[in-house]
Structure 1
Amino acid sequence: MNGMVLLAADSGSDPNPLLPEPYDIFWSAVVFIVVAVVFYKYVVPRLSKVLDERSEKIEGGLEKAETAQAQAQETLAQYQQQLADARLEAARIREEARTQGQQILAQLRAEAQAEADRIVATGHTQLEAQRQQIVTELRAELGHTAVDLAEKIIGQSVADEAKQAASIDRFLAELDLQAGIGVGR
């Protein structure tokens, strides 16, 4: 066996260890071409199909996302419009309530003023009635006192009722006349 190794070593020039033998290159090329044909015939179409499906899904997802975003923007705009409308309605209701409150307050004030005026008028009427009653009582008492004084001064009885009444009325009329003249000064 040693002889064969020596024979093979002597028969040719020094082979380059980095270059493969030609039959290795040939068979490697054949296997490469077969693998490349199988790869391009079966793997590349499936890979292209998968990539196309992915692209369609991505594009569909983007379209759905854009549609969803447009709907979200529209919903947001509607929400903002409803919120603005609600704020305007709340402001209108507040203003209406304020106006109604002022009207109710004015009405209550008017009713209170009317009630106060009625109470004052009733009080004036009662005071006038009481004043008239007191004046009547004072006149009667003053008349009796005047008759008693006259009896004491004259020393005789002034028993005639008609004369007493006439004397009392005359005396009171003179007092009223003097009071009127005294007030006019």
Structure 2
Amino acid sequence: MSPRTDVEAEGNFLIPNGTFFVELLIFLIVLGVIWFFVVPPVRKVLAEREARVNETTATAKEAAEIFGEAEARYESALAKARAEAAEIRNEARTEGRAILDEMRGQAQQEVDGIVAESTAQLRAESDQVAAELRESVEPLAQGLADKILGVDDRARTSAGQQRGRGSE
């Protein structure tokens, strides 16, 4: 065989032969089988997945809204509790001040009573001591005066007796 006969036997490569059409037919059949039997279940699964993603997104949005509402209620309750606590503290301070003022008033009354009682007791003791001092100092002063004047005890006693008689 000559080299020309091989080229002639093969024919022109630009002209399709029967194998090409058979391969094209098989390709189209496989493509049709895939299109009718594989693609619909895949599309169905993808659609279900997309529906689940949308449902999950909606559920997440709803959960976020519920969480936001719950957080708002929590913040509101917390603010209310803080306000109540502040009010209770203020009431306690006010009551504490009132009790403290009352206790101070009672203590002041007790102190005033004790001071008045002590003052009266000290005055009584002072009067008693003054009387005792007069009784003890008066004879001493008389004796000193007599000594300074040069009067003796006999003359004084006789003068005291005469005074006593003259007053009778």
* TM range, smaller chain: 0.7 to 0.9
Aligned-pair CA distance for 1:143: 6.2
Runs in 1 of length 4+ with deviation above 2 angstroms? 5-12, 19-22, 134-155
2:122 aligned partner, one-letter code? L
Letter in 1 for 2:54: E
Give the deviation of 1:138 after TM superposition. 3.7
Give the counterpart of 1:133 among 128, 132, 146.
128
Report the residue type matching 1:137 in the other structure: E
Match of 2:26 among 31, 34, 50: 31
Structure 2 counterpart of 1:43, from 34, 38, 45: 38
Q: Deviations over 1:59-93 (max 9, x none)?
A: 11101111111111112111211221121122112
Specify every segment of 5 or more residues in structure 2 that has no aligned partner in the other structure, as ranges.
none
Q: Is 1:104 the equivalent of 2:99? A: yes
Change (3 A) 1:116 1:11: closer
Give the alignment's TM-score, normalised by structure 2.
0.75
Shift in Å, 1:139 = 4.5
- In 2, distance between residues paired with 1:120 and 1:104? 24
The code of the aligned residue for 1:125 comes to A
* Structure 2 residue 7 is the aligned partner of structure 1 residue 9: yes
* 2:119 matched residue in structure 1: 124
* Alignment root-mean-square deviation, CA: 3.1
Distance 1:44 1:92 in 2: 70
Aligned residues: 157
Query: What aligned pairs does 1:149-160 form with structure 2 within 5 A after superposition?
Result: 152=153, 154-156=156-158, 158=160
1:132-180 deviations in Å (ceiling 9; x for gaps): 3224324444665688769935342747xxx5xx9xxxxxxxxxxxxxx
* Identity %, equivalent residues: 32
Gaps of 5+ in 1: 167-185
